[in-house]
Structure 1
Amino acid sequence: PGPFPTRTGEYALDPITVPGYPAPVEAQAVVVAPDGARGRRPLALFLHGRHFTCYDPADPGRIWATWPCPAGAEPVPSHRGYLQAQRLLASQGYVTVSISANGVNAQDLDDPDAGAGARSALVRAHLAKWADWAGPGRASAPEVVRASPAADLANVLLVGHSRGGEGVNRAATDSLSPPPPGSGHDGPARWRIRGTVLIGPTIFGHNPAVDVPSVTILPGCDGDVRDLQGQLYLDATRGVGSGTALHSALYLIGANHNYFNTEWTPGQAQAPAFDDFPAAPADPVCSPGTATRLTARQQQAAGATYVAAAARLFVAGDRGVLPLVDGSGVRAPSADPARVLSHAVGGARSAFVVPDGATTAEGSARVCDQVSADPATACVNPVEWWGSTHFTRFSGITQEPGRHAVALRWSAEGRAAVVRPGRAVSLAGARELALRLAVPPNTAATRFDVAVTDTAGRRARLGSVSLDGLPGTERTSARWAQEVRVPLPPHGVDLHRVAALELVPRGGPGQAWLIDAHGWDRGLPDPRPTALPRVDVGELTVQEGDSGTRDYTLPVTVTGDGPGSVRLFVHDGDGGAFTQRLVTVEPGQHTIEVPMQVTGNTRWSTGSRRALLAKAVRGTVTGRYAGGLEVLDDDPRPTLTITPVSDRVAEGGSLVWRATLSAVADQAVLQLGAPIAPADAPELGTTDVDADWFSTQSYGEDPLPPRPLSTTRLMAAAHVPAGQWSAEFAVPTTADAEAEPAEQVRWHFPPLPGGSGITVTGTVTDAPPGRS
């Protein structure tokens, strides 16, 4: 802790309105500030993630994800979950505020960008108030704000957890490159974001604020954001902006997702709380009580320590903190016993090998696709990508151009991997060569000799590196690159024209993945954030119509001015595939045209959607990365009738009915029915039907002991595929040796929209002699 005592209080302002969100979003926050600190003090703003929003204090089993809360329910105070980190920062002289976002959490389900824009609007609305309160509006500030030092809005740190991480990242982008009007908060940014801390964050949009420094904490036992997609806050910045902003990742072994927030932690939370890492089956790395799993308090202490470290680095400018986060292998003692590994991109680094389409490899190496459905080109088997943080997919796209790494596999010691960038690179001025290398989890002492070769063919051996795999299981994402460095030589090779990197494995067979290699130097340059051209994808809603083909142009706006490029992914509307195109943004260009066609007909469907996604490639940023064309169907839903094909059979036969539509539809029509007790006949039982069929149709129930079908979860599906008039469904029965009266199964199908309920009955008689 620092030298200042702290004071704590809350404020609640008028709610804000976010476009597309029916209910206003609360503007509530808890403030922890230094007591007795003079002058303006830097501001740290915290934003929690997505959690249930309301609970019943009298019944822990009742929770809601609605807003506002229903009568008798209380809001979950997620914004109070970071008080430990707030108090630590406040003791060091920072004014801190943690804001509530229940109103966003309850309404972001249908938001194409998963609420990132709404969270940004909320953050910026609070910052705008703090800007008022730091100036002429101070007299109107809430009591806790007036009792705190005035905030220095030129020095702001944003801290976000889970979807809150994506929210503060968007707020950083929106503060530099403002969104189009109508985002939920319009007006100039009267503040400067010096850095962000992102804790177990989502990054659905793969759209980091490239020129704003960041520290991303990746929890090794995250059971919520399991793929640790926050890694893209580093990897997706390379080559996009100036490259001078430091982006750091901290892999926190043994930490789960929820426990960074005390209000999401059992035993500390006011509302119901749980461990997000699954309890069963037992996991040797992440189950509570294992040697690697942190307790909640250990995890919270480590989290607060590294939040404070980021504040000292980005806001206070203390370069002595840099080795804690930049891959130098230095740990903060106050985070003990947590084991924290770091690597970084940007800062005082110069690119050497950042694999792209021009990179080549030979020997025991191959350039691979980070995201590919083809095992021959993929960096890892496509079915195993989940455990690789660097290879996280973009909105489910299975083939993404432009993302590469180098896969190494060797069967014997000494088989060199040689990697060549597309052109010779200067490493002059760099002290060391920094490699980000991933090795398989739980492996030990994977060793390489490292060398470089210049364009004249002169080779210099730089030294050796050794890596141990991170502790992991099939339920964790532990294929994460560690940073290792070797010194660059002053003589013997021309560092102005380095042509190749050589990695020579030592020891037995193995594999590894080179994510990138950079020249490294001490220090941290000014990130010099600039307002890059910004791309936002819009929404368009149209009627399908009864005939003909209509052309539409999806709105994609470019705000700002300058050259750059962006990759667009367009959903084909049939089968879920995407096509992609690389678009060059020219200076002065303010729209990108994305044509789409809609063909009308008179066949019913629930409508369709063609998604459009955008991703920055060079010299641009994306704000609202997801949009699309929504096609509303205007045709009446066909009615469904069910008629018997064979509704009276001897046991061992199959009862069959036919479901028929009044008109062919463009979409499958499904109506589910459940058995009800017959009015005046014995009921068919669980052992009177085929056992496998019963188990499948009843969601895994066992037919034993025998019991009436109407007492089970059994369902029948009247399912007519798209483009067909009718389809049959059957109940296979079994024969036995018992003499028994005719038995019945009576199916009731509740009404579909615009239709009426249907009840049908099938009868099963004893099998003829000799057939049992």
Structure 2
Amino acid sequence: MRKLLPLLSAVCMAVVLGPTAVGQPSAPPKPAGSGWRVVDGQVAWTSAKPMSGDAAVEFWSDGKLLGRARSSRDGRTFSLPGKALGDLGKVEVRAGGRRLDAPDPKFRANQAPAALPPLLPKGVADPGTPGPYQTVTGEYALDPVRLPGLDGPIEMQAVVVAPRNAPGNRPLVLFLHGRHGSCYNPNNPADQPFTWPCPAGTLMVPSYRGYLQTQQLLASQGYDTVSVSADAINALDFQAEDGGAQARSSLVRLHLAHWADWAGAGRASAPQIVRDAPVADMSKVLLVGHSRGGEGVNQAALDSLAPPPFDSGYSGPVRWTIRGNVFIAPTIFGQNPTPDVPSVTFLPACDGDVSNLQGQQYIDSTRGVSRGKALHSALYIAGANHNFFNVEWTPGESAAPSVDDYFPGDTPNPLCDPGQPARLTAAQQRAVGATYVAAAAHLFVDHELRVQPLLDGSGVRAPSADPARVLSHALGGDRTPVVVPDQSTKITGSGKLCDEINAATACLAGADQYKSPHTVSFTAAPTEAGRSAVDVRWSAAGTAAVIEPPRPVWLLGEQSLALRVIVPENSTGTSFEVAATDGSGRRTKLGKVTLNGLPGADRTMSYWAQEVRVPVPPVLQVAKLELVPSTTSGEAWLLDAHGWRPGLPDPDPAKLTRVDLGRVTAPEGDSGSKNYQVPVTVTGDAGGVLKLFRSDSTGRTWTEEALTLAPGQHTVDLSTTVVGNTRWSANYLVGAEIKAAKGTVVGSYQGGVLVTNDDPAPTITVTPTSSVAAGGALTWHVTLSEAADADIFVFGPFVAPATGPELSTTDVDPAWLRSWGIDPQPSRPLSTLSQLVLDGRIAAGAVSGDVVLQTVATGGQGADKHVALHVGAYPQELPLDTVLTGTVTAK
């Protein structure tokens, strides 16, 4: 049984955690509850209830990402193995950008949001209109399979909806749901075990049945559809460092392999519903993934083009062609999109799960990686939440208990709170989902260009999705890069270069930095190259920003210049003229654009780039691009500018080099030093460039560099030197992460060297009593028998003292209590607060430290008061289980 020790921040000192220990003995049981604890020898945060959502739980400090936490089997406990957390008083626990461990102070009070934008003009095609075919529906369940890294059987279950009597072979659309509960008790809504297989008396959550409306629409239009179950992966992916992306890819490819069999010689042995459906055309496959299912189908597309070089659970032949992906409110922890497979990404403006809308990186992170022929579209959907695209995640309609994921929070949100007029109903939201999934199918699978303007930033709508406001922008589709801001871009006038990932040169400051999906970070590194924009700020009309790319760009036959521009939320009438100057100094006015900010409020990601276009002549050279404001003051951010023409080229996938990282374990040793290599597997001969991020032994300091692979290069030197000694230290991870930059794709993006401690821990002693006058600091002195190479903590909860009266919340530092969400009033004994823990530390290299509790002055009034702490030590090799007592005298 897993046993827990509470661990919260120090009271009156900076607490710096050393590297967390891995796989150490369990501690004596202490009171349960939410908060910081030691779990199986690792510093961890425990939530009050299981976290079954899709967003990764992340630890942050001082505005910097420390890392994505690993979940325990119970779905409540999260840790960062091998990484130091630092001052726990500054550590924040987040998921999808929202604060989990305390009220979030970063958001300002709501201003009145702007009105929703008007409905866009109708497009020439409406893919939400049902087709001519009747449909047939049924399910299949095959023998379970085993997948590497997951400890349990994985179900092979799916629901099929297909056209009845449609002629010929039909395209196949496969759906994969995201991370949701796995089991439920139909007789007890509170009983929802997050485990697999489901215990007796419970049923599996039928998430895979949640897209039937979309499946029926597609089937009526002539598509075979199948939605597969992933409940086992949801229950078991806490074991996977990548959040289960590789496992979900393997599940998808296993199903596709069966469909390939059933389309050929194995059709006679196919399940009845498959034989009732038209034969699937496996050269025309569209994948649709919701939330973590989005990351799973992206990985499946990558693995289909560049198979993984390790055992992933499916190693058979690839007998299908992925024509496109649809990502519904997706995660993208690895920020490793498949650049040569077209995609559409849904970004629900009221997503309360993956609330930072990180799926934007399926568009942004493809820029410059490959040939740029595949279209990558983003759809910003006003009023949509995360869950309602799936009927089995919708309250009042689902078989298992479900919720509206948008969290009301402490500040009312006039845009997204349930029941607000700007919110879409569940039925409206599913209509949006069905319509735009069908749009992707018609465009990517059947090349119906009439549908393209719905997805590529052309500014039209599909009436079947009314009254939803759906805005689009896009990259790829063979657009010609004109301005892609970076350090080589010369900017003068009212513009300057800013960075999406760099606190010193950030494009957005203050609370606004948390309100853009374009600024979601990849690693804990403080910077990331290639993620810049042009910040245009002016205080007088006509003050131009002049942007000069590193070399002049010719536009030959393009129809428009497409710009992706962010303007402040709720702003109106931001307007500027666009002009181009060629290499000879000839200036051409291209047109005027006007933008209104997206409606925004507390916890909305409304700093999102809108696409605007200005016409260009048939032949134009751009040596300089000018943005000339028409308004008297304002600010806007230009993400990029591309030449655009109608049409959609073949994606023409390139033979990109695939790179995968691994992890190796290294004993520390007692002396000397030894080099260890981070395992790197390079598949393919084309070479390319990666962004390489590496951490130090604490996991808190990261560096970035460009890693260039020469053509034919298959080895990479990522060495780490491990120095041995005889002083105790926690296990630590020297981490490495990679991201594609040019000519590459990334499979496993995480790796490193895990260094294991092999030295005995020092002994520890604590002065058991302390006494101080009110207003002073109770201090218990802690001593080690010898210094250690990692921080050591003494900590514990308050317990009722043997004698009273007890120290209360109004007797201690109120700022400390409030930092943990505790109001000192009304006054109550400290031992009644189960989440409250006091701790102190001995810094690495030191032999002593203190546990300190600051009290407040009482003016000499009242009786003496008493306090008691039941303390233990971290790391848990240090045996300590004692009660500390203190007395605060009134005079």
TM range (shorter): over 0.9
TM-superposed CA distance for 1:718, in Å, is 4.6
Q: Percent identity?
A: 54
Unpaired runs of 5+ in structure 1?
none
Which range moves more in the overlay, 70-79 or 267-276?
A: 70-79
Q: TM-score, normalised by structure 1?
A: 0.93
Quickly say closer, same or farther: Cα 1:459–1:537, change in 2 above 3 A: same
Find the residue that maps to 2:318 and give its secondary structure: coil
Confirm or deny: 8 A CA contact 2:142 2:157 kept in the other structure.
Answer: yes
Which range moves more in the overlay, 254-263 or 352-361?
A: 352-361
1:558 match: 682
Q: Partner letter of residue 282 of structure 1?
A: P
TM-superposed CA distance for 1:583, in Å, is 2.0
1:125 match: 254
Quickly say closer, same or farther: Cα 1:696–1:758, change in 2 above 3 A: farther
Which range moves more in the overlay, 570-579 or 80-89?
A: 570-579
Confirm or deny: 8 A CA contact 1:677 1:683 kept in the other structure.
Answer: no
TM-superposed CA distance for 1:739, in Å, is 7.9
Confirm or deny: 8 A CA contact 2:699 2:735 kept in the other structure.
Answer: no
Q: Does 1:48 align with 2:48?
A: no
Confirm or deny: 8 A CA contact 2:566 2:608 kept in the other structure.
Answer: yes
The higher radius of gyration belongs to 1
Find the residue that maps to 2:623 and give its secondary structure: strand
2:428 match: 298
Q: Partner letter of residue 449 of structure 1?
A: E
Q: Partner letter of residue 385 of structure 1?
A: Q
1:379 match: 507
Structure 1 segment 627-666 matched on structure 2, within 5 A: 627-644=751-768, 646-647=769-770, 655-666=778-789
Q: 2:459 aligns with which of 329, 333, 348?
A: 329
1:674 match: 797
Q: Does 1:192 align with 2:321?
A: yes
Aligned positions, number: 759
Confirm or deny: 8 A CA contact 1:686 1:694 kept in the other structure.
Answer: no
Tell me, in whole angstroms, the C-alpha distance in 2 between the residues paired with 1:672 and 1:531: 55
Find the residue that maps to 1:426 and give its secondary structure: strand
Quickly say closer, same or farther: Cα 1:576–1:655, change in 2 above 3 A: closer
2:638 match: 514
Tell me, in whole angstroms, the C-alpha distance in 2 between the residues paired with 1:288 and 1:85: 24
TM-superposed CA distance for 1:161, in Å, is 1.0
Tell me, in whole angstroms, the C-alpha distance in 2 between the residues paired with 1:739 and 1:582: 66
Q: 1:20 aligns with which of 136, 143, 149?
A: 149
Tell me, in whole angstroms, the C-alpha distance in 1 between the residues paired with 2:257 and 2:522: 32
2:581 match: 453
TM-superposed CA distance for 1:758, in Å, is 2.8
TM-superposed CA distance for 1:737, in Å, is 6.8
1:37 match: 166
1:588 match: 712
1:65 match: 194
Q: Does 1:270 align with 2:392?
A: no
Q: Partner letter of residue 487 of structure 2?
A: G
Q: Partner letter of residue 765 of structure 2?
A: T
TM-superposed CA distance for 1:310, in Å, is 0.5
Find the residue that maps to 2:339 and give its secondary structure: coil
Q: Does 1:320 align with 2:450?
A: yes
Confirm or deny: 8 A CA contact 1:533 1:559 kept in the other structure.
Answer: yes
Find the residue that maps to 1:396 and give its secondary structure: coil
2:617 match: 489
Find the residue that maps to 1:64 and give its secondary structure: coil
2:665 match: 541
Tell me, in whole angstroms, the C-alpha distance in 2 between the residues paired with 1:327 and 1:577: 39
Tell me, in whole angstroms, the C-alpha distance in 2 between the residues paired with 1:589 and 1:364: 45
Deviations along 1:169-193, one digit per CA (max 9) or x if unpaired, are 1111110111103122112211000
Q: Higher relative contact order at CA 8 Å, sep ≥6: structure 1 or structure 2?
A: 2
Q: Partner letter of residue 550 of structure 2?
A: G
Tell me, in whole angstroms, the C-alpha distance in 1 between the residues paired with 2:433 and 2:523: 28
Confirm or deny: 8 A CA contact 2:527 2:704 kept in the other structure.
Answer: no
Deviations along 1:66-107, one digit per CA (max 9) or x if unpaired, are 323334333222211111111111111111111122222223
1:370 match: 500
Confirm or deny: 8 A CA contact 1:372 1:382 kept in the other structure.
Answer: no
Q: Does 1:747 align with 2:840?
A: no
Q: 1:254 aligns with which of 371, 379, 383?
A: 383
Confirm or deny: 8 A CA contact 1:445 1:467 kept in the other structure.
Answer: yes
TM-superposed CA distance for 1:726, in Å, is 2.3
Q: 1:244 aligns with which of 352, 355, 373?
A: 373
Confirm or deny: 8 A CA contact 1:554 1:629 kept in the other structure.
Answer: yes
Confirm or deny: 8 A CA contact 1:385 1:392 kept in the other structure.
Answer: no
Confirm or deny: 8 A CA contact 1:698 1:713 kept in the other structure.
Answer: no
1:604 match: 728
Q: TM-score, normalised by structure 2?
A: 0.81
1:102 match: 231
Q: Once superposed, what is the RMSD of the aligned Cα atoms?
A: 2.4
Confirm or deny: 8 A CA contact 2:133 2:221 kept in the other structure.
Answer: yes
2:134 match: 5
Tell me, in whole angstroms, the C-alpha distance in 2 between the residues paired with 1:530 and 1:538: 25
Tell me, in whole angstroms, the C-alpha distance in 2 between the residues paired with 1:666 and 1:58: 53
Confirm or deny: 8 A CA contact 1:421 1:500 kept in the other structure.
Answer: yes
1:283 match: 413
Which range moves more in the overlay, 469-478 or 708-717?
A: 708-717
Unpaired runs of 5+ in structure 2?
1-129
2:303 match: 174
Quickly say closer, same or farther: Cα 1:652–1:585, change in 2 above 3 A: closer
Q: Partner letter of residue 738 of structure 2?
A: A
Q: Partner letter of residue 292 of structure 1?
A: A
Quickly say closer, same or farther: Cα 1:442–1:689, change in 2 above 3 A: closer
Q: Partner letter of residue 838 of structure 2?
A: A
Q: Does 1:144 align with 2:273?
A: yes
Tell me, in whole angstroms, the C-alpha distance in 1 between the residues paired with 2:422 and 2:820: 40
TM-superposed CA distance for 1:27, in Å, is 1.8
Q: Partner letter of residue 388 of structure 2?
A: Y
Quickly say closer, same or farther: Cα 1:573–1:698, change in 2 above 3 A: closer
Quickly say closer, same or farther: Cα 1:694–1:418, change in 2 above 3 A: closer
Confirm or deny: 8 A CA contact 1:218 1:251 kept in the other structure.
Answer: yes
TM-superposed CA distance for 1:632, in Å, is 1.6
Q: Partner letter of residue 542 of structure 1?
A: A
Q: Does 1:209 align with 2:338?
A: yes
Q: Partner letter of residue 179 of structure 1?
A: P
Structure 1 segment 677-692 matched on structure 2, within 5 A: 677-678=800-801, 681-686=803-808, 689-690=811-812, 692=814
TM-superposed CA distance for 1:642, in Å, is 2.3
Tell me, in whole angstroms, the C-alpha distance in 2 between the residues paired with 1:2 and 1:617: 42
Q: 1:614 aligns with which of 738, 748, 760?
A: 738
Deviations along 1:552-578, one digit per CA (max 9) or x if unpaired, are 111111111213211211112236122
Confirm or deny: 8 A CA contact 2:771 2:889 kept in the other structure.
Answer: no
Tell me, in whole angstroms, the C-alpha distance in 2 between the residues paired with 1:197 and 1:237: 15
Find the residue that maps to 1:299 and give its secondary structure: helix
Q: Partner letter of residue 845 of structure 2?
A: G
Confirm or deny: 8 A CA contact 1:695 1:703 kept in the other structure.
Answer: no
1:577 match: 701
Tell me, in whole angstroms, the C-alpha distance in 2 between the residues paired with 1:569 and 1:696: 36
TM-superposed CA distance for 1:711, in Å, is 7.0
Confirm or deny: 8 A CA contact 1:387 1:479 kept in the other structure.
Answer: yes
Tell me, in whole angstroms, the C-alpha distance in 2 between the residues paired with 1:749 and 1:223: 38
Deviations along 1:617-655, one digit per CA (max 9) or x if unpaired, are 1111111111221112222333433223x5456666654
Confirm or deny: 8 A CA contact 1:655 1:762 kept in the other structure.
Answer: no
TM-superposed CA distance for 1:205, in Å, is 1.4
Confirm or deny: 8 A CA contact 2:413 2:602 kept in the other structure.
Answer: no
Tell me, in whole angstroms, the C-alpha distance in 1 between the residues paired with 2:542 and 2:888: 76
Confirm or deny: 8 A CA contact 1:53 1:106 kept in the other structure.
Answer: yes
Quickly say closer, same or farther: Cα 1:764–1:736, change in 2 above 3 A: farther
2:562 match: 434
Deviations along 1:488-539, one digit per CA (max 9) or x if unpaired, are 125xxx52x3211111111220111111111111111111123311111111
Confirm or deny: 8 A CA contact 1:697 1:716 kept in the other structure.
Answer: no
Tell me, in whole angstroms, the C-alpha distance in 2 between the residues paired with 1:766 and 1:236: 62
Tell me, in whole angstroms, the C-alpha distance in 2 between the residues paired with 1:763 and 1:33: 73
